[in-house]
Amino acid sequence: MTSAVERTRDAQERAISAPAPLFIRACPGAGKTHVVVTRHLRAPAHSLRRGRALLSFTRAAATQMRSRCHREGRPEATAFPHYIGTLDAFIWDILVEPHHPAGSPLQRLDSWDRVQAEVKLDRQIPLSTFTFQRNTQTGRDSIRRDLMKDEYQRLIESSRFPWEVWENSALKERKAQYESGYVTGHEIRHLAFKYLALGQEVEDPLRSRFAEIVVDEAQDCSVTDLEILDRLHNTGIPIVVVADPDQMIYGWRDADLRQLSALTEKLGQTVELIGNWRSSTTVCRLAATLRDGSRPPDPAIRPPVPEPPVILLPTDFPKGRQARHTTSRQAVVDVFLSHAQNYGILPEDCLITSYKKTHLPTRRRQPAGNPAAQLAFARQVIHSGTADPDLLDSALLIAGRRLLRYWYPDVAARGSLHTRCERAGIAHSDLIRYAYAFLFSLPAAGASWLSDVNTKLKTSPRPSTARPKGTTGQLRSRPDTASPSGDPGGQHRVANIAQVKGDEHLAVLLLLPDSDTSTRWISGHPATDELLRNWYVAVTRAQKLVAIATRANQIQQLSEYLDTQQIPTLVY
């Protein structure tokens, strides 16, 4: 066993056994999920009434932690008094709902779009486009105008009402929605502060139930989230914060490095997890050039094997068109996939990413053709196993509309899927589950496919409120037109950087269309430049190969700099 492996495992053991309060600083690929779950399963015995909360920012991460407990033969570690879930769910389930008056129920929404809330003056603007921010000093909200989408910025600028009137109207609309019983995560956090301020009435049950609260990916916490954690810490509940500040990329969501540092310093004890079990030495060295300070690269805990260099691809980024390799004039994605294949990496193990979605290659989300062809396409997406989330949403939308039309023929077939679900009296989440099961049950398109689909419509599970009428809503297309069309997502993943946190892929292509890429990479300061931290997240998704597509005039300077950092490169 190498000394690097020994040091890494020693650090993991310290993080598992160190008492809380505690800050665990974990580099990419450090095995922090293993550390968190092992800490949970190996904890010193407490009273049976006391458990541990394991919190993360995505349902997928929470599911992974629960699954690991089950794989270790410890299903009881996922049950009361323990709590494994997202931070959002914890704030609602533990800090708000038990203390909210029973006579004024609230419905938790992931977006104001769910209730079609709008701010109406001389034009209508969705309430969801206004980003509310809590002032930590006063506890009051303001609105981040700088985060509003350009199209709505232009609408407000052309309005006869000034910004202040729009801001007040948005606050009033939100208040009206609250009085109607609707809240989003932001309002729930306000309620958490309200109930935590009650003192022992809320604090005693928390201390009684939880011996420790562990928050993973804490660099994603907003200032408001960190204030809630600080208050929980002040109640005497031991807090464990697991974070990689170098991966803080949600400044637009009010994440703040200074506030995170203030909390972690308050915790007092720090354990560093620096060994990277995911990436090669070349990837680790490349990542180190994108983080703050002069820390050496994280040691790669991988068997020493020949490693591919960083591929630098001079690229043109024509507006509204696919990025093209300057030298070959091929699509730069195809050039990257070809290089990956030369290193034995299949397309399904490749990620194409960029800071903005607009810089990514586009895929047709809605296939052309008649309803039968569209449904065949949706079926293909579900069975592909590699389609990205946006494409899956499109497939489920196609199937959901078909099911609604067949099950509820008297309900008007117009408006959004949510609106049509409300008219039909079926929960949107239930319809999505039915739609997935329906698509998964369909056979591949063939000569009898039209008949097969209509048979499945008649025999598939349905809600008790469904009232089909004869053949209304069934497919009428000719079988020979019901063939899959369009791209079901390809085998490689395409997503912007914010969507790939927590992912890992054998190869990553990072698209950098900026005209100052090399200067920013070489001389920028990640502590103040969030874009550099985004690039860091993208690079650290790679296990083996990183390719960088940037403008031709940026290549030489970037290549020379990476050479000084002893990072092998290939300009192609």
CA atoms of 298 and 235, how far apart (whole Å): 36
CA atoms of 534 and 536, how far apart (whole Å): 5
pLDDT for the residue numbered 369: 61
Phi, psi of 149 (to 5 degrees): -60, 145
Structure tokens at 364: 């047709």
Tens of pLDDT, residue by residue over 405-460, are 999 999 887 777 888 898 899 999 999 999 999 999 998 877 788 888 999 999 99
Tens of pLDDT, residue by residue over 166-224, are 999 999 999 999 999 999 999 999 999 999 999 999 999 999 999 999 999 999 999 99
pLDDT for the residue numbered 412: 84
Nearest C-alpha neighbor of 382 from the set 393, 369, 372: 393
* Whether pLDDT at 43 is above 80: no
C-alpha separations of 49 from 43, 70, 211, 233, 497 in Å: 14, 21, 9, 20, 41
Instruction: Indicate the burial class of 370 (C-beta count within 10 angstroms; 0-12, 13-18, 19 or more).
Output: middle
> Which domains does the chain show, CATH number per domain?
3-97+191-273 (3.40.50.300), 111-183 (no CATH), 307-362+492-571 (3.40.50.300), 371-481 (no CATH)
Band (pLDDT 50/70/90 cuts) for residue 480 is: very low
pLDDT for the residue numbered 119: 96
Residue-by-residue DSSP string for 208-220: HHEEEEEESSGGG
pLDDT for the residue numbered 487: 44
Structure tokens at 394: 């499109």
CA atoms of 435 and 404, how far apart (whole Å): 10
CA atoms of 504 and 499, how far apart (whole Å): 12
The pairing of beta strand 132-134 with beta strand 141-143: antiparallel
Lowest mean pLDDT among 126-135, 225-234, 288-297: 288-297
pLDDT for the residue numbered 386: 61
CA atoms of 62 and 54, how far apart (whole Å): 8
Are residues 353 and 343 in contact, defined by beta-carbon separation less than 8 angstroms?
A: no
Tens of pLDDT, residue by residue over 359-394, are 888 755 555 567 888 888 888 888 876 666 767 888
Q: How far is CA 77 from the centre of its chain?
A: 26
Q: How large is the C-alpha radius of gyration of the chain?
A: 26
Please give the mean pLDDT across all residues of the chain: 89
The pairing of beta strand 310-316 with beta strand 324-325: antiparallel
Residue percentage of the chain with pLDDT more than 90: 68
Residue type, 118: E
pLDDT for the residue numbered 366: 53
Structure tokens at 338: 């070809």
pLDDT for the residue numbered 482: 43
CA atoms of 145 and 129, how far apart (whole Å): 10
Lowest mean pLDDT among 17-26, 103-112, 209-218: 103-112
Nearest C-alpha neighbor of 50 from the set 21, 20, 82, 27: 82
Residue 247, number of CB atoms within 10 A of its CB: 21
Structure tokens at 534: 């985004």
DSSP structure class, residue 329: -
Q: Assign 3-state DSSP to the chain and report helix, strand, coil percentages, each to 5.
A: 45, 15, 35
Tens of pLDDT, residue by residue over 122-180, are 999 999 999 999 988 898 999 999 888 888 999 999 999 999 999 999 999 999 999 99
Band (pLDDT 50/70/90 cuts) for residue 321 is: confident
3-state DSSP assignment of residue 526: coil
Nearest C-alpha neighbor of 121 from the set 152, 86, 93, 160: 160
The model's pTM is: 0.75
DSSP structure class, residue 348: G
CA atoms of 246 and 255, how far apart (whole Å): 12
pLDDT for the residue numbered 2: 61
Phi, psi of 125 (to 5 degrees): -130, 130
C-alpha separations of 76 from 42, 70, 81, 421 in Å: 13, 8, 9, 37
Buried residues in 132-148 as b, exposed as e (16+ CB within 10 A): bbbeeeeeebebeeeeb
Instruction: Indicate the burial class of 95 (C-beta count within 10 angstroms; 0-12, 13-18, 19 or more).
Output: buried
pLDDT for the residue numbered 46: 52
CA atoms of 456 and 442, how far apart (whole Å): 7
pLDDT for the residue numbered 317: 95
Structure tokens at 440: 């998964």
**Opening angle at CA 171, ends 169 and 174, nearest 5:** 110
Residue 94 half-sphere exposure, CB side, CA atoms within 13 Å?
27
The secondary structure element, H or E, covering residue 514 is none
The pairing of beta strand 118-120 with beta strand 124-126: antiparallel
Residue percentage of the chain with pLDDT more than 70: 93
Say what angle helices 371-384 and 389-407 make with each other, to 10 degrees: 130
Residue type, 517: T
* Whether pLDDT at 1 is above 50: no
The arithmetic mean of pLDDT across residues 507-533, rounded, is 94
Residues, the chain:
572
3-state DSSP assignment of residue 60: helix
